[in-house]
Each structure stands twice: as structure tokens, then as C-alpha cells.
Structure 1
Amino acid sequence: MKNLISLFYTNLFLTRRLLAGLIACIVFFLFRFFFEWLGLLPELFFGALMLLAMLDALLLYRTRNGVFARRQAPERLSNGDDNELAVYIENFYPFGIQAGIIDEIPHQFQKRDVWFKTSITSRQHKLISYVLKPLKRGEYDFGMIRVFVHSPLGLLSRRYNFAEQEVLPVYPSFLQMRQYELMAISNRLNEMGIKKIRRLGNSMEFEQIKTYVPGDDYRNINWKASARQGSLMTNNYTDEKSQQVYCIIDKSRAMKMPFEGLSLLDYAINASLVLSNVALLKQDKAGIITIAEKTGAIIPADRKPAHINKILEVLYKEKTRYLETNMEMLYTTVRRVIKQRSLVVLFTNYESLSSLNRHLPFLKRIASHHLLLVVFFENTELKKLSQEPAKDVEGIYIKTIAEKFAYDKKLIVKELAKHGIQSILTSPQNLTINTVNRYLELKARQRI
């Protein structure tokens, strides 16, 4: 009995409607000191209000389990993407209710306004959807679901607590990966911003002999097969397969810089995941190497069916280090792990020519054995400053410094090109598109 009373008090709350009624009672009692003709009206009003409150409590508590709620969430969340979750709620009361729902989302989102209001008729259910966008990989702790129920009288509110605590991991952007995958399968990558690259010459990978149709290259006509068939036949070639594509991710302090909530490391990880998946769809082999002051994860290039899941699991655990990148260690690792000529995509960041010059000797050595593509980032905040008009002397100074940093980025591109090293200077939001574009271009031009 004691537990029942405690449960009653801890889960029963006054609503604004009842509080307004109590305030009205206090006003009536005060007025009676000045207007005696009110008589027993304040007591009658207060008594009626208490009777209605007791009736409301009876309505709310006569059904032991009046509502049921649970969270519907995926097994894992995608970093940097809008993830859809939902709260399922069902009403077992014999009357319609008004419900307020609080879903205790993880503290990483820093949101305190996840409050949903809805009305549900008797013996019906509803699904309330909402969206969360995580900006950091790792484990996210979801708490309880709390439902506050009002009867049609609306004087009291009964709270239900549902123990829906669960931990959801936030993985690199697999939703973005699937989006590119679907577009690649249906040959609609141009809708994602992927350019169509004109193939120069023929690849060495013969696929089949097929019937000639207008538009086919007449230089590929197979005259012997045409003579046997009595109609024009042509050789059909396809892109070379089983070429190795390695994504090297720099996870030093240079990649800690944030952009729209995500760090540059997370942008590089998301782009590496998409590029690896596109390479596998093109029948190439994909591999991963992470580096900071020491070598991190190494996944040798392969194209097995479960290989992309292996890459996803490894990238999920990678974290930023706070020391300088050991380029000598990177060169040694590349020579040890990558045995044949491959496309090596290095995701890093350079803010000045001096930082590039420290790494350049090792980049030149890697480029002598492989096709090296260095991907680094524009400083979008400085770019905005350089484009804004200066209003005073301080503004002129800031604008000049911003333009100097932007010019240094362009000098880095020219310096890499001077040594025969491919490069991409991109904003973080365009990283994935620009990287996949360059991979397809290099493949079409038979540079790998």
C-alpha cells in the first residue's frame, strides 16, 4: 500500500488547467472579504474543483497500464547524416487521451526540447517520427521514454516511464555510401554531381564480341567474326579490373579542425568509405591505411563481398591523434604493404608551404612507385573573410591575411604538380564528390 501511494504521488502532476482553477479559488476567497454576498460560492467552487480532480485521478489510475510506448531506432546511426527514429505509442484507455512524450536522447546532441504532443483515440496507436544528426563517431546512450497522459478533463497528468535505455553506435556515413552505391549500380552517378569522363583510347580489358550498332567505334570492328556471322561485329572493351585503390587517412592534429560540426578527419573517413565502395563496384580492390605519429590500422586491398564491412568497422574506431604525422613511417608502411603500382589517395591538410615542404621528400618517393593523389582542404572561413569588403583598417588587415592563406593553398597545388603529384583542393562538403570524380577520371584515362 505504501509503494502504491508513493507511485501515485511521484507520477501524478497538476496541469495548468487545475492550477488556474486553484488560483481562481484563491481570488474568490480574497474577494469574499470585500463582497460578503459571495457567501459559500468560493467553498462550492473549490469543492467542485476537488471532486473533478479526484474523478480525473480515478480515470487515469483505474486502468493499470493505460499506455505503452517504445523507441524504434536502427541498429546503428550514420555520422553526419539525418537519421530517422520514432516513438511508438498505444492507448489502452477506454477514452481518448492527450499525451506529452519525452525521449531522453544522448547528451552529445545537446538538445533539451525533444517533446512531442499528440492525441490518441481509445484503443489506437501512433508513430511519432523525428530526426537526429550525430556529428561524432562513438557510442550514444539513449535514456527512458516518459509519457505524460491527460484525460478529457485535463486537470491531472499521469506519468509513465518506459525503460528504453539502449546504446547505439554511430558509424561513418554508411547512408551516404549506400546512396552512391545505388546511383553507381543504376549508372546515375551524374545526379550526385559525378562527371562523365570521356575515355581516351581503349582499355586493355577485353569483354566480349557484340553486334555492331551505329555509334560504336569502327576501329573496333572484328572482321573475322563479321565474316563468320555475315554481319558487322565489334570488340567490346571494359575498364581494367582488380586495380588497387588505397585510401591513406592522416589522423594527426591537422585533421582536428571542425567544419559544420564534423572534424576534417570525419569528412576524410566518410569520403574514404564511399570511394572504397565505388572502387569495389568497379571491380577494383580497396584498402585502408591510417597514420599519425605512428602507423594505425592497415587493411590490405581486396574485393571480397564482406570487405566493405571490414573497412566500416575499422574506420568506426579511428580517433584523432594530436602529434605531427610521421611521413617517414608512412613511406616505410607503403613500401611494405603495397606491393604493386596502385592509386594512393592521401587525405591530409596543409595550411602553408612550409608544412608541405616537410613532407614533400617522402611524397615524391611514394609518387615514384605509385599514382599519388593528395587531397587537402580549403579553409572556408578564411575564404569568406577574403570575399567580404573591408570597412576599416583592421578589416583590411584581416582580409589581407585571409587572402595570403588562400594564395598559399594554391601554391601548394602548383608545388605538388611541379613534382608530378596529383592533388585536390576542396571544401569539406564537396570532398566525396571531388574525390570520386578524380578516381573515375584517372581510371578512364588509364593512369592507374
Structure 2
Amino acid sequence: MIYPTRRMILVAAAIAPAALVLGLVLPAWWTAGLALLVFLILLAGVDMLAGVPTRSIAVTCEGPGSVGVGESFSILARLRFERQAPGFAEAALGMDGPIAAPQGWRANVDLVGDGGSAAFALIAERRGTIRLEAIWTRWTGPLGLIWKQRRLVLDQAILVLPNIRPVREDAARIVNRDAMHGLIAQMQLGEGAEFEALAEFRQGMDRRAIDWKQSARHTALLAKEYRTERNNNVVMALDAGRAMCEPIGGVPRIDRAASAALLTAYVALKEGDRVGFFAFDSRPRASSAPIAGPRAFPMLQRVAAGIDYSDNETNYTLALATLAGSLSRRSLVIVFTEFADTISAELMLSALGPLLKRHVVLFVVLKDEELEAFTAAEPAEADDVSRAVMAAALLRERALVLTRLRHLGVEVVEAAASQAGPALVQAYLDIKRRSLI
């Protein structure tokens, strides 16, 4: 595509009134104005022919194959001309998907020799697939009167996954911290329920572990050592209904929950347990059987990435009954959910019966920082007082529901969005240490 630049339009706009004035003042020279316009058109033709042709460009785009939700990343477009590069060039991206460009979709190309590059700063807003459909490039001729533009089809895909960068960082920090204090070693030997061996009683061991019969036989204090059970089932049940798709801190709750679930899954797989995912809203949406091994985490990551956003109300009865029917052995079921009112909470509480009979249930809810901010803020107007009163009432109802869950025997983790992952890992390790699974 070839079209005039701003410079040519401004020059043509300046010639037109000059030709009109010349025709009024000197009628015999009225053709001079037309001559100027013809001369400008000839210059544009020379600029078009002398510049770099549109067929002489090749473009490649370099970017990540996958990014995490909320992450900033960049795409580098590299331009290569068959001959010398023009004096000035621009590039623009054509993309579709859950993405934003804070600095715009167009960038100037840094030209050196016979090519150049342009960088685009982007942000992944939510999970999904970003399609890099095409890139537009344009450059001017030597006189700057003509734009030459070309569209090149790319058809590249970038997956937006749950953010796993903090998953690996937090997991490494937790494991290193536990190893430094000896927690991992204690859980592997001495804190489980499976008998391992008899050992001489040492200072700091649990006195209830002393085997008095064997001690009398050997005339020395002997204690039973246990090992932590491995190969336990851990199921991450994620509510993907309307309430969980609301943003908290600019990121949907379901994405926060998916990151915390992946962090815990990463630690659980390191502990030798089997991990599965289960997503639901008005009906079950995604499910994976508990798996272990080196390939388990990438598979769980793909399952978590496939959990779609939904505006349906959550059907706890159907979802939890389906989950209970699919589990053939005692498991730790970690439920990520959010309840907006006491009615939905009552339905949730009544649906827990089939799970609590055989399994250990752990509920994870994110603190509503907005409501807490309303109650903590100093009121300046009457509306602030009414807002704080309503927020306090909602927080009281929330605390009542969590208390009822604990009375039913459900483990509850309530944490801020940024601390949900580490808090859940600590709860999981505590459940294993107490041999509840």
C-alpha cells in the first residue's frame, strides 16, 4: 500500500491557496499553480520509485510461548530489507486476546544497516490465548513524501497461564526454609503413622513413642519411629463461578486460586503425593485424576490454564457430590471458593456431607480487602459511615460461615491474596504432619 505522508499533504495544502492568490493577482499566470501541483506529484512519483520497494522486507517476531496472568512481557519485531534500510520506519502489531499495551500498539523501528528492530511492551490481563495475527510496517521514501506500507501475516500464539513464576520461587523458599529448620526430615521420619523402626530414645523425642515391652526386653529405652505416608491423594477443587471471577487487586479470584493451587501442587508432588484438579461452576467443567511423577506438574498447569471464566452461579450440591463419587480412596480435598451471601453458604454447608464422611476437606477463601478497608477507614461523610456499617455486617456473616465450617471439622485457610499460596502450603504440611490424610 502506498499513500501520502503528512509532509506531502501540508505542502499540497500550502500550494492550493498560493495558486489561488496568484490567479487573482496575476490572471495570466494562473497555470503556475497547476504547474506546482504537477511538480509535487512528480516528486512524489520519484520518491515512490527511488525508495525501498514493499516486496523487499522480511519480518520476524520474537516473544515468549507462554506468560503468566498479570505479567509484563515484550515482543521484539525484527525487520530485514534486501538492500539498504530506509531512513525511517514504523511497525504496528495486530493482536487479539486478553492483552493490553500500555505504550501503544505502534513503535518506531531502530534502523541499522539493512535492518532494524522494534520492541512492544505488553501485559497479559487474564488467562486465555493471545493471537499475534499480523504486523504492519511502513517507511518513507528519500524525500519523505510517500508512505510505503506492508502487512505480513504471522499467526503466532501465546498462552496466558496461571502465574507460575512465584510458584517456583515460593516453593523453593518454603522447601529451603523447612530443610534449614529440619522440618522436612522430621516429617519424613518420626511424625507419620506408618511404623518404620525401633530406635534408642533420645532427648527431644515424644515420650508416647516409647515401646515399653521392647525397652524391658533390651534393658534400654527404645522408641518407635514412624514415617510419613506418601502417595496420598490431594485434589484441588476450584470454584470457577461468578463470585470467583470478580477481581481482587486487579486479578480475578480464580487466577489467584489457580496460582495458590499450583504452588501447593508443586510442593505436594515434591512430597511424593498425587495431585489432581477439579473445576466447577453450575456443573463440573474440568477434571484430572490424581497423578504423580515428573510430568505431573506440566499437565496440572495445562488443566489449570483451561479453566474458563464463567458468569454462572455455583452449584455446590452437584459439584461436591460428583467429586465425592469420583474419589475411590481417602483424599485431601482443597476447595477454593467465595460466597457472597449466607444463602449460597448454606447450600455449600449442606453439600459437604458426602465429602466429610471419608475425606479431609480444606477450604481456602481470600480475604475481602475492600470490605476491610471500608471498616478501617476513618469516616468523613455520612455515606462513609453507612458503607462501613454494611461492610462490617458482611464481614460478620463471613466470619460466622467460617466458624460453622470449622465446627463441621473443615480445615479453613483465610489469607490475603498475596499470601494465599504460602498459607495453603503451610496448612497442607500441617495436615500431613498430623497424619490426617
Coarse TM-score class (shorter-chain normalised): 0.7 to 0.9
Cα 1:446–1:95 change in 2 (3 A) is same
Amino acid in structure 1 at the alignment position of 2:236: C
How far, CA to CA, are the matches of 2:131 and 2:384 in structure 1? 45
Cα 1:45–1:328 change in 2 (3 A) is closer
Is 1:392 aligned with 2:381? yes
SS in 2 for 1:135: coil
**Any gaps of 5 or more consecutive residues in structure 1?**
1-10, 209-216, 221-235
Amino acid in structure 2 at the alignment position of 1:416: L
Amino acid in structure 2 at the alignment position of 1:326: Y
How far, CA to CA, are the matches of 2:388 and 2:187 in structure 1? 49
Task: Name the residue aligned to 1:229.
Answer: none
Encode CA deviations 1:307-366: one digit per residue, 9 max, x unaligned. Answer: 2233233333333362442336514632541403x3221111123444333332443653
Structure 1 counterpart of 2:51, from 60, 64, 79: 60
Amino acid in structure 1 at the alignment position of 2:168: E
Shift of 1:157: 0.7
Amino acid in structure 2 at the alignment position of 1:203: M
Query: Normalized against structure 1, the TM-score is what?
Result: 0.76
How far, CA to CA, are the matches of 1:302 and 1:79 in structure 2? 25
Task: Name the residue aligned to 1:358.
Answer: 347
The answer on whether the counterparts of 1:199 and 1:444 sit within 8 Å (CA) in structure 2 is no
Task: Name the residue aligned to 1:347.
Answer: 336
How far, CA to CA, are the matches of 1:196 and 1:384 in structure 2? 37
How far, CA to CA, are the matches of 1:197 and 1:244 in structure 2? 26
SS in 1 for 2:187: coil
Task: Name the residue aligned to 1:415.
Answer: 404
How far, CA to CA, are the matches of 2:230 and 2:18 in structure 1? 87
Amino acid in structure 2 at the alignment position of 1:264: R
Is 1:148 aligned with 2:138? yes
Q: Spell out the pairing of 1:297-336 with structure 2 (5 A cutoff).
A: 297-319=286-308, 320=310, 322-327=312-317, 330-331=320-321, 333-334=323-324, 336=326
Amino acid in structure 2 at the alignment position of 1:314: V
Is 1:71 aligned with 2:61? yes
Amino acid in structure 1 at the alignment position of 2:152: F
Amino acid in structure 1 at the alignment position of 2:406: A
Task: Name the residue aligned to 1:124.
Answer: 115
How far, CA to CA, are the matches of 2:179 and 2:185 in structure 1? 18
Amino acid in structure 2 at the alignment position of 1:71: C
The sequence identity of aligned pairs, in percent, is 17
SS in 1 for 2:43: helix
How far, CA to CA, are the matches of 1:326 and 1:410 in structure 2? 20
Structure 2 counterpart of 1:258, from 218, 229, 247: 247
Shift of 1:305: 2.4
The answer on whether the counterparts of 1:287 and 1:302 sit within 8 Å (CA) in structure 2 is yes
Query: Normalized against structure 2, the TM-score is what?
Result: 0.78
Cα 1:196–1:42 change in 2 (3 A) is farther
**Any gaps of 5 or more consecutive residues in structure 2?**
191-195, 197-201, 206-224
Task: Name the residue aligned to 1:21.
Answer: 11
How far, CA to CA, are the matches of 1:338 and 1:283 in structure 2? 19
Is 1:205 aligned with 2:189? yes
Amino acid in structure 2 at the alignment position of 1:386: T
How far, CA to CA, are the matches of 2:226 and 2:152 in structure 1? 61
Is 1:177 aligned with 2:164? yes
Encode CA deviations 1:230-286: one digit per residue, 9 max, x unaligned. Answer: xxxxxx998653233211122333323333554333332333233212211232221
Cα 1:121–1:66 change in 2 (3 A) is farther
SS in 2 for 1:242: coil
Task: Name the residue aligned to 2:260.
Answer: 271
Task: Name the residue aligned to 1:188.
Answer: 173
How far, CA to CA, are the matches of 2:375 and 2:182 in structure 1? 36
Greater CA drift, 253-262 or 283-292: 253-262
How far, CA to CA, are the matches of 1:351 and 1:372 in structure 2? 20
The answer on whether the counterparts of 1:143 and 1:164 sit within 8 Å (CA) in structure 2 is yes
Amino acid in structure 2 at the alignment position of 1:181: R
Amino acid in structure 1 at the alignment position of 2:72: D
Structure 2 counterpart of 1:403, from 388, 392, 405: 392
Shift of 1:133: 0.8
SS in 2 for 1:163: strand
Cα 1:109–1:365 change in 2 (3 A) is same
Structure 1 counterpart of 2:71, from 78, 81, 93: 81
Cα 1:199–1:281 change in 2 (3 A) is closer
Cα 1:313–1:108 change in 2 (3 A) is closer
Shift of 1:377: 2.7
Greater CA drift, 287-296 or 193-202: 193-202
How far, CA to CA, are the matches of 1:119 and 1:141 in structure 2? 25
Shift of 1:45: 5.5
How far, CA to CA, are the matches of 1:344 and 1:96 in structure 2? 62
Amino acid in structure 2 at the alignment position of 1:121: V
How far, CA to CA, are the matches of 1:86 and 1:119 in structure 2? 11
Amino acid in structure 2 at the alignment position of 1:271: A
Amino acid in structure 1 at the alignment position of 2:5: T
How far, CA to CA, are the matches of 1:34 and 1:242 in structure 2? 96
SS in 1 for 2:55: coil
